[in-house]
Amino acid sequence: MTGLILYYLLAVNVLTFIVYGFDKRKARRKRWRIPEATLLGLAVIGGSVGAWIAMHIFHHKTLHNKFRYGIPVIFLLQTALALYLLLY
């Protein structure tokens, strides 16, 4: 079961990283964008590490407070939940 969860987290973080990069590319070309709710939703379902890395590599959404502070908060909450589930 733990292996399955790790594969899920790896997949969702890689997907999140790719989606953030794709959205940044679209932003530079002034084209259709991925909704912010989708970007945040990917972080909520487990892609917070991929979102954080993509934000810093692509310099994307780093000035938006809901991303600047929201992504680290989501990560901390997910980490706390994982530790709670592992310990109890």
- The ranges assigned to domains in the chain are 2-87
Tell me, yes or no, if the pTM score tops 0.85: yes
Sign of CA dihedral 17, 43, 75, 64: positive
What is d(CA 38, CA 27) in angstroms, rounded to the nearest whole number? 15
Mean pLDDT of 12-21: 98
**For residue 43, what is the DSSP state?**
I
- Residue 2 — very low, low, confident or very high, per pLDDT cuts 50/70/90? confident
Q: Residue type at 23?
A: D
pLDDT tens for each residue of 31-58: 999 999 999 999 999 999 999 999 999 9
* The length of the chain, given as a count of residues: 88
The Cα 48–Cα 9 span in angstroms is 10
